[in-house]
Structure 1
Amino acid sequence: MKYSIRNEKVVFKDHYKVVKADVTYDTFEGGKISTERLAFERGDSVAIVLFERESQSLLLTKQFRYPTCKHKEGWLLEIPAGSLEENEKPEDCIVREVMEELGYKITKPKLINTFYTSPGASTERIFLFFSEVSQNDKTQKGGGNESENEDIKLVNVPTSEITEKIRELKDAKTILGLQWFLLNS
């Protein structure tokens, strides 16, 4: 099956951008559809399931998320994550993000999956990693990047509580990451 994209242009640009295009794509029955589509371009991201051996816990973050306020949430419990910078490798980005958010030094994170967050609207992919750490790997304070106005709290979730915790979570990448851990531990 084939598709073509024409007249792609940026229709909104701020911290993120929105592009609009004329698209034509094959149908499953042999026809073609031509229409306009929008895509939210926020860049790719990384996330990690981080297991601390001594405490037998997963290390999560709790932080304020403005878009969730529409639904009266505000603060979400999530696995550590962040946005890739231009020309940055996902492996380097997740190492940086874990240090910024939690203060842990990680080496050789294992890529476990790459997925789209909302393929009907966004170009964003998340590179999901796994790594084990020791309490000795906590070498800095963490808490987020002050220049980005982040205020991040470290939350240890014992592995024995993961199944129950999944029922409370509101963040898709975290639900996926914790389910992966349950299936692979």
Structure 2
Amino acid sequence: MKQPSDRLRNVRRETLSDAWYTLYRYRYEYLRSDGRWDAQVREVYDRGNGAAVLLYDPGRSRVLLTRQFRMPTLVNGNDGGLLVEVCAGLLDNDHPEVAIRKEILEETGYAVGAVEKVLEAYSTPGAVTEKLHYYLAAYSPEMKTGAGGGVEAESEDIELLEYTYEEALGAVASGDIRDAKTLVILQYAALFGPLRQGWQPGQ
């Protein structure tokens, strides 16, 4: 099979908006599997890449999640606009591990030790460029060094929520947790990580 670069020609890009992040329109021709060139138009939203982390307390069998207002969810059926999520944020040109440590401290007030990268995944590949780097990190009450809650200058107003492992997985099953990145990392942790029955650190 031809490589993707061999299947594209006449690629043109125009900027539609850069008021917050950048929205592009791409026009190109794509070589279909049947050998025909197909003229296509796609809009692509570039907001940079991000990182997300599941904070878990192995001693107390708990995870630490956040809840904050998300306007796009409000306009698409999420009554009240509040969403339960793992700690996450954009890289802003930092290395993913540097970025996620910064987000953990800003959002939760915890200064954690080791962070373990477990996944990379594209968030919404049909329209958004963002790739997320997923991490696991252990926390405990004595690691609390600040108030958390996010950065007020960035209009963040973040509430912290602790769930037992069973409560977190129950919220996945019931649909109470509806944020995609949070579902991904909780499912990973249940299959391969600290939420799996019999899991031990270092496995």
Q: TM-score range by the shorter chain?
A: over 0.9
Query: 1:30/1:97 Cα in 2 relative to 1: closer, same or farther (>3 Å)?
Result: same
Unaligned runs of 5+ in 2: 197-203
Q: Aligned AA for 2:104?
A: V
Aligned residue in 2 for 1:119: 125
C-alpha deviation, 1:107, in angstroms: 3.2
C-alpha deviation, 1:141, in angstroms: 0.8
C-alpha deviation, 1:154, in angstroms: 0.8
- What SS class does the counterpart of residue 175 from structure 1 fall into? helix
Distance in 1 (alpha carbons) for counterparts of 2:63 and 2:25:
40
- What SS class does the counterpart of residue 96 from structure 1 fall into? helix
Cα RMSD (Å) of the superposition? 1.4
Q: Kindly report which structure 2 residues correspond to 1:5-20, keeping only aligned pairs within 5 A, or say none.
A: 6-20=11-25
- What SS class does the counterpart of residue 166 from structure 2 fall into? helix
Aligned residue in 2 for 1:75: 82
C-alpha deviation, 1:6, in angstroms: 2.0
- Match status 1:90 vs 2:106: no
2:41 to 18, 30, 36: 36
Aligned residue in 1 for 2:188: 180
Q: Aligned AA for 1:81?
A: A
TM-score by length of structure 2 reads 0.86
Report runs of 4+ in structure 1 exceeding 3 Å deviation.
Answer: none
TM-score by length of structure 1 reads 0.94
Query: 1:5/1:37 Cα in 2 relative to 1: closer, same or farther (>3 Å)?
Result: farther
Unaligned runs of 5+ in 1: none
> How many residue pairs end up in the alignment?
184
Q: Percent identity?
A: 31
C-alpha deviation, 1:111, in angstroms: 1.2
Deviates more, 1:124-133 or 1:2-11: 2-11
